[in-house]
Chains A and B, each alone.
Chain A
Amino acid sequence: MNSDSMNLDTVLQRADIWRGNQMASRTQTVSSGFGELDEQLPGGGWPRGALTEILMPQHGVGALRLLVPALSRLSRDDDKRWICWVAPPYIPYAPALVGAGIDLSRVLLVHPKAQQDGLWAVEQSLRSGTCSAVLAWPALDDSTAMRRLQLAAEAGDALGFLFRPKRLAPRPSAAALRIQLEPGADTDLSVSILKRRGGWASGPIHLDVPVAQYDRTVALHSYSATAPGSFHAQWQ
């Protein structure tokens, strides 16, 4: 009997064990800028000092747009920490970042040549304490690496965002928060929470993550560019 309770205590003290009912209230967060999403996230936003895994079917569904309000806020914080992008799949387009209100002088791009160097760079950046957020696109599927990154994020009080393909959703992950994205109609984005601290997985919520200020109801169906300057959209 006595030894059993001892065992439980030892188990509870392990770093990789979290107790659902305790963590939620202590989590420090940064608002995502989307009220509906904040309501679903423990502590009301993206967790600080933790890893968030964003699973998505492909590029172009709006994963970055989902983060932009928080990144913009973080880039304007007084503590002047980096927003570090490790191995981005394309060029983060400076005019769009400025347009989204992100201070470019806080943006740090890291382009490692080897896979292992990429994970190393993510870990260093998370752990250094000088990055408010670290965004990474790891191609590797390695659960030990995930645990290390989660610990590094805790040590450096950084928001770690890992963008990974949707097919990895069934795999266990050490990330504190896991969300899955699906494109909705128009610029809607459907967000499902697969894992969060202090709560069960949620059903999908639909967020409006706009691409542009235009009338979404009309689409172009034919177009002729043979006469530049005399352009007319034709409607069905």
Chain B
Amino acid sequence: MLAVCDGTSRRSVLFCTVPAGRQGVCSAMPVAAARALVHDLIVHPRDLRAENRALHALAAWAYQFSSQVSVYPPCTVLLEVQGSLKLFGGYSVLLERIQQGIEALGYKAQIATAPTPLAAYSLACCNHQQYIEDAADLAAALADLPLSVLDWTQPLLDRLHGMGVRRLGEVLKLPRDGLARRFGPDKLLYLDRMLGRCPDPQTMYKPPARFRRRLQLVAEVEQTDAMLFVLQRLVMELCGWLHGQGGALQHFEIRLWHRCQQHTRLTIGLHEKSRAADQFMVLVRERLERLELEQPVQEIELRADQLLQLDAQSLDLFDTHVRSNQVDLLDRLRARLGSDAIRGLSAVAEHRPEYAWSYSEPGHSEQCSDDRQRPLWLLPVPRQLRTDNNWPCLQGRLTLQQSRERIESGWWDERDIARDYFIARSTSGACYWIYHELSGEQRWFLQGIFE
């Protein structure tokens, strides 16, 4: 069970996990009292910098839904969604996507929508999940909110309270000139901005050009399951950022941080650029399954430096469906077996049999036709055959078919060959491709098998 406390000398609980809450821990309770209730309570001091980083990460993720995002520390992100409604298919669809996304990232959000930033902020603070479309309805919608939603100083709020003002509606009813005189013209401006009578320009958030995100684990972890849980969140943040940037990736990096700032680095590569979280996670899972950790992990970092532009062609879903699945298979095989374990084949126009082929990138093959009879299997290295009276043997004396093929080639690169090739048959009925050296020791070799 976990609780977060503030950093003051009194040390009281700010937040706690649900199981801790069930045992009676609540916010504003002194830490000592909470510890008395729950003996194994883990108490972390509040880390405002980490919260700020999380808020900015959330803003980067939210950039996929709107190009106008602002960050309101300590805990608010503001999105201009008017321009996005049509693209995402209406307000309710957009809201649902944002809500689901935030939940999947592991956050809890209070969302409200209003024509002005301050009104939306105030409604969200009170967890009024409303959608107010028209600025004319604002005053009525805000009237019931408590004064605490105003981002004003505590002495000022106390003065208002002393005047018998309890609700926002009552503040709005105060005479304008009197309010400006007693509390300052900026407070009048604040209310005007909230009601949409004055423009309220925002500082726009600019997402970073590369993705760096590091999450601390609650406890040191050695199992990959717990790491996958955190990585899932990081990958979703990554994909939100990619959507916001209109970009894709061909590889990204996971760093597992151990004690003493040591880390294990895992690079995940993709055959084709992508930004699909599911696909990334499959690869991450495969990669982690093979991982043998030498030390427990304290923090997990996800990094992506090379943002690639996603061209319209890659977004075409119709004809590339099978192809993208194929790429999935390649990526998956590579993630587990290593990239050198997955290859394609090419034929090479070359007389020397051992050079007449090469490995290639899967799907990209040279294929020159050759009418001559060739075995389906080639031995990686020709195998010297035993001889009996200068006659080649393999499980007994071989029977040679009478047609032979003479290959003399390669004088230009000092790997020249001069050989007579035969199709041979063993007494057990297997067919082989063997050759006899025409020079040197005149040995017999097995080079291929007619499978």
Contact = CB atoms under 8 A, between A and B. Distances in A.
Interface string A192-236: 000000000000000000011111101110110100100101000
Interface in A78-132: 79-82, 88-100, 103-113, 117, 120-121, 124-125, 128-131
Contacts of A63: 451
A220 B431 contact: no
B347 interface: yes
Contacts of B430: 58-61, 183
Given A61-B429, A104-B367, A97 B400 contact: no
A219 B399 contact: yes
B365 interface: yes
Contact of A225 (B323, B353, B402, B442): B442
Contacts of B330: 108
B449 interface: yes
Nearest to A227: B438
A184 interface: yes
B346 A94 contact: yes
Given A60-B449, A94-B356, A124 B329 contact: yes
Interface string A155-178: 000000000000000000000000
Contacts of A89: 377
B409 to A, nearest CB: 13
Nearest to B330: A108
A200 B113 CA distance: 71
Nearest to B366: A104
Nearest to A118: B337
Interface in A34-66: 57-65
Interface stretch (B174-182, B291-299, B416-424): B416-424
Contacts of B345: 92, 94, 97, 104, 107, 109
Interface in B333-370: 333, 336-338, 341-348, 353, 356-359, 362-370
A62 B451 contact: yes
Given A65-B450, A81-B326, A93-B378, A228 B418 contact: yes
B376 A97 contact: yes
B154 interface: no
A27 interface: no
A90 B402 contact: no
Contacts of B370: 95, 98-99
Nearest to A125: B329
A184 B341 contact: no
A109 B344 contact: yes
A187 interface: yes
Interface in B68-110: none
Contact of B365 (A57, A104, A129, A213): A104
Given A109-B344, A125-B329, A219-B401, A212 B322 contact: no
B451 A64 contact: yes
B374 A104 contact: no
B12 to A, nearest CB: 53
A82 B326 contact: yes
B388 to A, nearest CB: 13
B243 interface: no
Contact of A92 (B341, B376, B426): B376
B380 interface: yes
Contact of B322 (A80, A113, A223): A80
B448 interface: yes
A211 to B, nearest CB: 5
Contacts of B442: 225
B332 interface: yes
B402 A218 contact: yes
Contacts of A59: 377, 430, 449, 451
Interface string A62-81: 11110010000000000111
B422 A220 contact: yes
Interface in B293-332: 322-323, 325-326, 328-330, 332
A131 B329 contact: yes
Contacts of B338: 113
A219 B346 CA distance: 33
A108 B401 CA distance: 33
B210 interface: no
A1 to B, nearest CB: 49
Contacts of A107: 344-345, 362, 365
A98 B402 contact: no
Contacts of A211: 373, 423, 431, 450
Given A61-B429, A104-B365, A121 B333 contact: yes
B297 to A, nearest CB: 24
Contacts of B364: 105
A212 B405 CA distance: 12
Given A62-B431, A93-B357, A117-B336, A98 B322 contact: no
B432 interface: yes
A60 B347 contact: no
Contact of B374 (A80, A95, A112): A95
Given A60-B430, A107-B365, A96 B420 contact: no
A217 B438 CA distance: 26
Given A59-B377, A61-B430, A95 B357 contact: yes
Contacts of B374: 93, 95-96, 99
B371 interface: yes
B403 A214 contact: yes
14 contacts: A60-B426, A61-B430, A64-B451, A65-B376, A91-B379, A95-B357, A107-B362, A109-B342, A121-B337, A130-B325, A220-B404, A223-B404, A228-B406, A231-B404
Given A98-B367, A110-B337, A128-B328, 11 more contacts: A58-B428, A90-B378, A91-B378, A94-B358, A97-B347, A98-B368, A103-B367, A107-B345, A113-B338, A218-B401, A220-B400
Q: Give the top 5 A-B pairs by smallest Cβ distance, nearest first.
A: A183-B429, A60-B430, A94-B357, A90-B377, A104-B365
Interface of B: 322-323, 325-326, 328-330, 332-333, 336-338, 341-348, 353, 356-359, 362-380, 391, 399-404, 406, 408, 418, 420, 422-423, 426, 428-432, 436, 438-439, 442, 448-451
